Structure 1
Amino acid sequence: MKLYVALGIILCFSCTISAQGVNESMSIEFNGKVLKISEPLIISVLIKDSESRPAIIFPEITGLEKRSKSATSAINIVDGRKVVDQTISQEYFAPKPGTYVIPEFSIPVNATRLFSEETSIVFTATGEEEVMLGSDAILPEPETGRETIFFSVQADKKGVFIREGFSLRISLYISEDAPVEMEFYRFNEQLQQILKKVRPAGCWEENTGIEEIVRRKVVITGKNYTEYNMYQSEFFPLTAGDINIPSVTLDMLVIDRMGTVNSEKRIIKSFSSKPLRIVVSQLPPHPLRDQVAVGEYRLVEDLSSQMVYPGESIRYVFKVEGSGNIAAIPAPEIQANSAFDFYPPDASQVVKRSAAGVTGEKGFNYFVVPRKDGKFPLGRYFQWIYFNTARVRYDTLRSVKILEVRGEDYKLGNISLSSSLGLYDNLENLDTTRKTINYKELLKNLTSAVAILLLIAMVWVIRK
């Protein structure tokens, strides 16, 4: 009898642990199974509800070239709580059309290991058999056309406006006909010292998250090189003035076989980058030049209803998409008026950091209550001024939606439309101390408690 009871407890305990161990918050995804030869295979690790971005190292895949890496964070407000989802992606390019078998692999993420089964990816021909090399990144020029090995700290722009982004890339380039064999020497220690010198002060940094040396084939001035990319970030200067990046040195371990098969000599050889200067200019005169966002943006908007009655609530989404410092995009400033009550918006954002720069979107979800009848172009209320780096001028994103309000003017009690903000009145008296219940965390704790009780019961039965 004791044996059956113990076996039952063990079975329940195993089921409980299995239920607790299933991690639905992390997964591995592919961007497709059939791709054009000009398109990359993108393997992504998705992590839900995580403020921090873990270091992810993707596998080497035989026959495919590992290239650019990107990191995307999406922020949403759910039941008054900020939820951050992370997506880390790695690109793989095929040298020619065909079917490529991706063997099963695992990726460690913090204390968890994610598994992917064996799968096949088909790359189809598109008429352009060659994949462009180096089209997604900054490529430097060696000082002389005869250099076979050189170290580079390179920016994609020589001059930017204040708060405009520029990419900084650190790579070692070795030509195919280089006459030496080399190995990296105390790399992590050297890289940290290099980054201390090259990271510009007074800048907002968006790091693409390179945790390993990424190798790829590139063509520079008609010569084939292998690039060993070790760092890339996008920087947004917060103050005007030149950014001067000094020359930095990378030590490599060079193997000299001294003309014999069984004898070799290892020496340390230094490679130095050229100093770099980036001019940061102030924006043209404007009353808001110290506040506006800088970049290339467009407006995407959504209105839950085109026609409502006074007092009936609607939702309006003002979403800014494009390239720039997405995280620093401010909300449109809306002046108080007697026609509408505008609640403070819920903000959401998606930021993608890649070799091509920082892109994404930031949305502002407004709760709106009309108080007067009539037709109202929302462009009167929703305007967003920014500095357009493509046109080198200030631009305005303005709503093109028109809201029709039908019926008698809406009054709340004895509120005067001309002297009150309506639904904002007595806002300070609302109870903001109530906390939302995290059911996911509650279930996890309950499962742990049940597992402990089952373990105690099993020990008690065995001892009896």
Structure 2
Amino acid sequence: MRRMGLVIILLTFVSSLGFPDEQISFSASVDKTKVSMNEEIVLSLSISGTTNVSQPVLPPLPDFNIYSSGRSQKISIINGNVSTSLTFRYILIPKKVGRFTIGKAKITYKGKVYTTQPIEVEVVPALISQSKQLPPPSSSEARAREVFIEQVVDKKKVYVNEQIRLSFRIYQSVDFLENPEYHPPSLTGFWQEKLEEREYYKWINGQRYLVSEINTALFPISPGKYTIGSAGLTCTIKNDSARFPKSIWDWDPFTEFFGQAKRKRLHTQPLEIEVIPLPANAPSDFKGAVGRFSLSVDIDKKEAKVGEPITLTLKIKGEGNLKSLTSPQLPSLSYFKQYTSEGETKILSSDKVIQGEKSYQYILIPQKEGDFTIPAFTFSYFDPQKKTYQRLRTEAISVHISPSPTSPSTSSLSRKSARENSPSFSPDLSPQKNYLLVVGNKIGKGIFILGEFLYTYRFSLLFLLIISLLLLYLKRGYRRYKERRGKERSARRRFAYTMLKRRLREIDRYMRTPDEKKEEFYALLFRALSEYLAECLGVSRAGITIAQIEDLLREKGIKDELVRRIRACLEQCESQRFAPYQDKDAGVRLSEMRTIKREVEEIIKQLRRCGIE
């Protein structure tokens, strides 16, 4: 409260003094003139003497990706003299290596055009490893290296299905103000498995960094040359310019409240991987396993009776792509019924390799008594360290099968003798009475067996009844929940479409002054389309990106042509907000605004026809 009161007093005092009507100055500066491909340049356009100006017009910068980093305003009073300044900041990310010129930016104030001086910058290749010892940095370079990233692999030439460890490392010497956003690379042509993440500290050029490491195991699917795409990071850190004021006249309320955060966007260079085919002399039972493995077999019993199942368990342990392994073939066994279960995989990943075991169970049911031998299992794999094929073999297992305790002939004779000795047995009955007696005996026997079963398993049956009723209740509740959620989603989508139409009508009044309201026009159009898509796709509107919208639309089955049109429309809105028109009159600008607005309306019509709502 005391600080806010000071701000009000200060602004009141400044307004009472008034601002002198003087010439303004317009200048450009960069935080560094030499950067690597995985770094960014901060371009600052400063206007002193007034704050009542429109956004500067940037020069053409085809060799950079441009992002707006906001604006800051400063008012200073020194010896009774009032001075003002306004700074626009932009993030420039280089697209290629070389020397480039940042051309003249311009503004128009009271009918006069002001321009900045060109700035020369140099972009050099990205460092292979940021952890190498570098020359001691200057103070500005040290600030620029508060956060940097790298992406490395442990090997660039591998065999098919051989593991590659991909490591993405974040080096930070300052705290993040919010959770950073990781943009993973494109990994086409690789089987992927997550490895453990690591955090540790490392000293580089006398600076202590916290290193966060994201590790991924990659297994190439086929031979050839592949590219691991560029990875990126978006983070927010505290602005170095924020400092404690030496006096009340040196205190800047705008920097105090709005200049505390700095947003950085970093990206790495792609990596080239060469995948070579496996040697041609593969064993006959080789099925593509690459790594280092061991093989073992276990049996639950070596003596059994006819019809009694025997469980045989085969385990493959080691390092490699365990999920891609196929079960070894069980040899054909006479006098045994054979059943094979699906393999069970247990992954024990570290931060370096994928390791674990995969087990298979074979159920053998003997059909005949005697002594039998279960043949040995074999398993072949390729060892990339030894560069040779290896073949594993288990020991053969002997089992003894004894006859079943009862035989059909003995059982039949005993049942016949018992029936003949029974008091109710009477061979002299008439055929009709004999038939009724047989039917009655069978019915009574069935009732007796049913009663005995119900009594024996009464608790189990009661438990199953309770479970069945509970499942029916849950199913009914879940159906009601889905119906209620469906109605809520339908209502939200109808509301989103209503808000979209309202914003499109609101956009029309920005088109009356295309020179002054261009930024608001494209910002509102981007917001209207992105929020409508987010609501229809069932995701949060906060923080959704164009890439996420594109992926979700493809998952919904939207045609690629329409998805590309949506992405192009959103990117055009985003770029037009921060890259103003160059040498275009108001008529051309108005025509472009109308064109993109009609494109958005046509996109909405096609999406509704596709049933996205």
More helix by share: 2
Q: Between Structure 1 and Structure 2, whose CA radius of gyration is higher?
A: 2
The TM-score normalised by the length of structure 2 is 0.38
The TM-score normalised by the length of structure 1 is 0.48
